Amino acid sequence: MEPDATMTTTDLYYDPYDRDIDADPYPIYRRLRDEAPLYYNEQYDFYAVSRFDDVQRRLVDRESCSSARGSVLEFIKADIEMPPGVVIFEDPPQHTVHRSLLSRVFTPKKMHALEPKLRQFCARALDPLAGAERIDFVADLGAQLPMRTIGMLLGVPETAQEEARDRANAALRTDPGKPMDVAGRDMGESDFFADYIEWRATHPSDDLMTELLFAEFEDETGTSRRLTRDEVLIYVSVVSGAGNETTNRLIGWMGKVLAEHPEQRRALVEDRSLVPNAIEELLRFEPPTPHVARYVTTDIELYGETVPAGSALVCLSGSANRDDRRFPDPDRFDVHRDIGQHLTFGYGIHHCLGAALARLEGRVALDEVLTRFPDWDVDWENARRAPTSTVRGWESLPVFVRSEEKGDSWSRRGTG
């Protein structure tokens, strides 16, 4: 029999900005699922759902849950007008048109063809570290592989890729314990890529910018046309931001989780066919994006309570991925797990367009790391979490490593 599902309890508090909760949110997630599957936070005025079925249902509820005011709580509360082309912040029919343009580029077949190049990027990042006693999963790989990959896809020269990455990352930074400051932010003000777009207009190439500039499509009004420069700019800015930060965090979690589960890591070293499923389990176990939000357009009845129209509803996908109603022994990391469906990439029409690319980058990164550094332990004294409220992960994750040649000479330090 289900526990009494009340909307709040006297000693149960969930706050997406609380750094202590963010360090390990899973005990709170469990209590939310068991004690308050519909939760209300009075301080920040939002509702939250935490069970797998509830999160999945809300993500496809186009009648009551809108993305037009954003998928981030701070944007929904600020009621900022979104320019066309921010596909994650749109509803149909705009979303249908704009997503279809990007989907031409992010097909699984096209992503799979990138694998040789991604392995080159990994080799470029990791080979200079041969013989090192310490590497940083974030600085040495997580900050490099997504940047090079997205830069290649967009057609941004390498000389500008670091600036593009740093601009995207800075936009997500927050003061510890506080919401992102979005007051007065213009979602369309980023002009960093404008010069590159103008160049591509007269010097077409095999990249995303060129494809967007010359794509013919029918917009939501039925007009056949090409995208304007401003629309291309928005698309490119969105892809750059989404592609850099989340995959960076995935690679950071890779370092931490596999350090804490050495028997799982050894299984991967011995059998590389397990690597793709290990990435799925990692995405389930420690999702870089642990929650998304929706604006409630009509009243929703849940657990005998009403989520009124005009509310912000946070869908805790990180909690849903650990719901024992869906996953047996969900707090156990298991690279052999038959996962089925997790919600890290969302669900329904807003399922992450870059999911195939993120999976590929994760798989290649893990495989290349295991080849060079099959054993490691986290340097906890110098590990730092990222100060963001929208993604969860590591700003720095240095580890002590040993290669096959070093044998027992390696010294483990730090216990976490």
CA 395 – CA 384 distance, rounded (Å): 5
| Residue with more model confidence, 94 or 1 | 94
* DSSP letters for 334-402: -TT-------TT--GGGS-TTHHHHHHHHHHHHHHHHHH--EEEE-TTT-EE--BSSS--EEE-EEEEE
Indicate the average pLDDT of the chain. 87
Range name among 235-249, 259-273, 317-331 with the lowest pLDDT average: 235-249
What is the value of pTM for the model shown? 0.88
| Residue with more model confidence, 194 or 52 | 52
DSSP 8-state class, residue 274: G
Angle of CA points 56, 35, 311, to nearest 5°: 55
Number of H helices, E strands in the chain: 16, 14
Residue range 281-309: mean pLDDT, rounded: 97
Contact between residue 210 and residue 226 where contact means Cβ atoms under 8 Å apart: no
CA 381 – CA 383 distance, rounded (Å): 6
| CATH code for residues 19-409 | 1.10.630.10
CA 33 – CA 50 distance, rounded (Å): 5
Domain regions of the chain by residue span: 19-409
Residue pLDDT, tens place only, 124-180: 999 999 999 999 999 999 999 998 998 888 888 777 777 777 766 665 555 565 565
